[in-house]
Amino acid sequence: MNKKITTLTKEEQQKKEENSKNLLYDQRESASEEDMVMEAGLKYASKRQGEYTLEDYYALPDDQRVELIDGVIYDMAAPNTAHQATVKEISFQLESYVRSRKGSCLVFPSPVDVQLDCDVRTMVQPDVLVVCDRDKVIRRCVYGAPDLVVEILSPSSDRKDRIIKLAKYTNAGVREYWIVDLRQEKVIVYDLEHDRRTAIYGMEKPVPVQIFGGDCQISFEGILELVRSILNSPGSDES
């Protein structure tokens, strides 16, 4: 049986190659976060996402920052300077409040492991956390739900912080959860202890900490100018 041989002109060949590139680009653009996480997870072990445990987590190189949530490994992008400056400022103000009241709560900035569900399928690293039950603080991690968790939003963590971690923190018994959006200059506060009441604050005024009855208030005034300068600087990244 003879096969028909089709010869493409140079213009047709170029158009075909361009269409192929566009299709590949569209596929990449439409890829879900789960797809990208799954691809990244293949580097770590011969398991499927959803099957990883703390054994796999601890087997990773020390310089590889990831989180394990319900058996899924999520890569963590290196934080930018605005992110780290904000973590430092929030931690400092929380620590200052606790010490001024001679309180027993402990404040931890990242990175610190949190075995949130006390099982082998989840280990997270919040940006800032407060633990008031000192029995939860063991040598290798915080074992159980912190009282307050703060996450600094970035494009790479947006969906994870707003949806996946919100659900995890709620179900695990975290009393209060903050999402700090530096680009929008807003703080979303979930009062999980009281029927998941939600409040959105601008950064021009202090934000009350609900686990301390609002007596502790975090001010962004001293750092806002620095954050703006960093985020608007030439060559600033979006991480």
Answer for the pair 184, 152: CB distance below 8 angstroms, yes or no: no
pLDDT tens digit string along 215-226? 999 999 999 999
Closest CA to 196 of 159, 215, 169: 169
Its pTM surpasses 0.75: yes
Q: Please report the pLDDT score of residue 126 as a whole number.
A: 98
Q: From CA 212, how far away is CA 106, in angstroms rounded?
A: 13
Task: Using the predicted structure, report yes or no on whether residue 22 has a pLDDT greater than 70.
Answer: no
Q: Is the dihedral of CA 206, 198, 192, 91 positive or negative?
A: negative
Q: From CA 112, how far away is CA 128, in angstroms rounded?
A: 9
Task: Using the predicted structure, report yes or no on whether residue 37 has a pLDDT greater than 80.
Answer: no
Closest CA to 153 of 182, 176, 124, 130: 182
How many CB atoms neighbour CB 127 within 10 A? 25
pLDDT tens digit string along 2-12? 433 344 455 55
Answer for the pair 78, 65: CB distance below 8 angstroms, yes or no: yes
Q: How far is CA 224 from CA 34, 60, 204, 210, 221, in A?
A: 33, 36, 8, 22, 5
pLDDT tens digit string along 166-180? 999 999 999 999 999
Task: Using the predicted structure, report yes or no on whether residue 99 has a pLDDT greater than 60.
Answer: yes
Task: Using the predicted structure, report yes or no on whether residue 150 has a pLDDT greater than 50.
Answer: yes
Bridge pairing between strands 176-181 and 148-152:
parallel
